[in-house]
A and B are shown apart, each in its own frame.
Chain A
Amino acid sequence: MAQMWITMGPQHPMTHGLWTLRVKVDGETVVDTEAELGYIHRGVEKIAEARDFTQVTPYCDRLCYVSAMTWANSYIYAAEDLLEVDVPERAEYIRLISAEIQRLASHLMWLGAFGPDIGNLTLMTWCMRDREMFLDLLQELGGSRMHYNYPRIGGVKRDLPVGFADRARAKVKLFEQRIKEYEMMLDESTIWLVRLQGVGYSRAEDMVNSGVSGPNVRAAGVNYDVRWAHPYSVYDQVDWEPAVEKPTSVKGADCYDRYRVRMEEMVQSCKMVLDALDKIPGGANTHYSTGDEMILTKAPTRAPEGATGFSNYECTRGASQFYIQGGGDGRGKNPYRLSIRSPMFITIPYVAKTMIGYKVADIPAIMGSFDPCIGETDR
């Protein structure tokens, strides 16, 4: 039979973002793929060369808009490395809480998009409903539902609002029960299992060599997580375990394992939030005023030429890194070069190769299970 290239073009309901996946099919089987990115390339790295370090933070929120808090935190750690700033412990706890709530919201967004791909439209509404709870929490904290501009070099912008701890605990505890509902619906659903199991195998070592990290690798049986391997915040003081799944085949992890790893990560994030609220220095119900030294250290605004800053951070989709070279415009007020490493930029070509050998109908399952977010891919 003749082989044919099909373009799952930039506008496509199942590609979870703006990119083109061209698949070469032989009948129903995928024989080759090509990924084209760059439709949402906004030039953040170039823009950053014309902005102060504080002004770059809102741009970093918009890199991966679904998981904005983790990306802003990632940039801030690199800027703190560059400017050599210490962060007060309470601010680290607040960053942890905000990042983990964001991880919950991001995984719910993933599940809410992945479910309809497989055919389960109920998941879309359930996940959006639950995600609203966490978006409200982040709205109280950061000022808006998606792009918070919340962390600052040396701390955070403002303290936990009054009443935040009670609302957060209530919502997280409710959500822990809701996860069980999701599992009840999905893990016993024949369609779900048949579509996800046995599809999209990927081996751990292949993934690591290809630059894939995060929950995708943890689905293949190794619990490597940047939060403990290259520790950066107070993760060693809160009670959690990195989520890991046992792969069901010698061929590696399938889509079902990747889905299970994210469910388990949501459970762990819930635990982390509750624990951090208990352990935060100063108490979760105290509200320090903005700029107080408990939550923010005054940071220098200029970085000399030759100084560099690097951060390694566990974003929701993998390990994100920022590399900043100082000494830019304004006698060092701007970065000279801001380089962003997005986990999805490397994962998407890998995913494209993973699809080879499976059927066309498996494409959305495989693609969705790796959780693509094109905002961070194209920057």
Chain B
Amino acid sequence: MGMSITSEQNEAAASAFLEQAEERFGGSGVTVSIEHHSNAVKFAFVRMTCPPQHWIALAKWMRFDAGINYCSMITGTHYPEGGTRTWGVAYHFLRQPVRDVEPFTSDVLKAESLEGMDIPLEIEVLIDLPDGREPTVPSVQSIWIGADWNEKETWDLVGIQFEGHENMHRVLNPHDSPDGFHPLQKQHQIRYHDYNEMYDDAQGFVRKPADEGRVK
């Protein structure tokens, strides 16, 4: 039978992390909560919201004290309707029990025997940026190496600046894309966004793409 982390372990890990985080950051604008997924085995994960000015402190604490060693995803979103926020950055991290091993040995983890800080855990950090044309978030490039290219991609596609990020460059768009062109912002719509092509220009031979003639 395959092994897997049980929901008790998962809940224990989530609450332990919650306690630690509350102790350290309670009341400073950082909110911590336990949410549950609605898919698969409905495991718990920790969701934190953080104002941008506290982000570096939180990140350092997470990496060095709480053992969150894997930065997996950085998502930037543009909310032009505003409301409480115009820009949002969502970070996803994992705490993985991976450590260097001696040569010719392997660390075969048994899921049931993991405890404490060894239990894998998912953490989500949401940073909402208020209205502004220049959304800026402090960069965690020096804290997790994995955040490096994720931040490049987020700036490239969404336009969120990462303060303190060295060597920021275009990673998915062409290098000579115009400054300020960030395609995932909502004012850019993909060609034929509203399915209007079928009835006036069946195969797109009449319209020309916006970047026609450009050397790519």
Contacts and interface: CB of A to CB of B under 8 A. Distances in A.
B101 A221 contact: yes
Contacts of B173: 38, 41
Contacts of B193: 50
Contacts of B184: 45-46, 337
Contacts of A325: 77
Interface string B132-156: 0000000000001111111001000
Contacts of A41: 172-173
Contacts of B71: 211
| Residue picked from B3, B45, B102, most chain A C-beta under 10 Å | B3
| Residue picked from B2, B108, B144, B173, most chain A C-beta under 10 Å | B2
Interface in B17-46: 37-41, 43, 45
Contact of B70 (A50, A213, A238): A213
A210 B98 contact: no
A47 interface: yes
Nearest to A84: B38
A331 interface: no
Given A235-B2, A236-B3, A239-B1, A204 B101 contact: yes
Interface residues of B, number: 60
B149 A349 contact: yes
A160 interface: no
Nearest to B174: A38
Contacts of B43: 230-231
A339 interface: yes
Interface in B106-143: 106-109, 111, 120, 122, 124
A43 B153 CA distance: 12
A41 B172 CA distance: 6
Given A208-B98, A238-B2, A246 B104 contact: yes
Contact of A323 (B69, B90, B104, B111): B90
Contacts, number: 195
Contact of B183 (A46, A248, A337): A46
A249 B172 CA distance: 36
B92 A341 contact: yes
A204 B97 CA distance: 11
B170 A221 contact: no
B135 to A, nearest CB: 15
Contact of B69 (A80, A208, A227): A208
A244 B106 contact: yes
Contacts of B150: 211, 345-346
A361 B94 CA distance: 35
A221 B106 contact: yes
Contacts of A78: 39
A310 B91 CA distance: 12
Interface of B: 1-5, 37-41, 43, 45, 69-73, 75, 77, 90, 92, 94, 96-109, 111, 120, 122, 124, 144-150, 153, 157, 170-174, 183-184, 188-190, 193
Given A220-B101, A235-B4, 20 more contacts: A43-B190, A46-B183, A78-B39, A80-B40, A81-B37, A85-B38, A205-B98, A209-B146, A221-B105, A222-B98, A224-B120, A228-B5, A233-B40, A237-B2, A250-B103, A321-B73, A323-B73, A323-B92, A346-B149, A349-B148
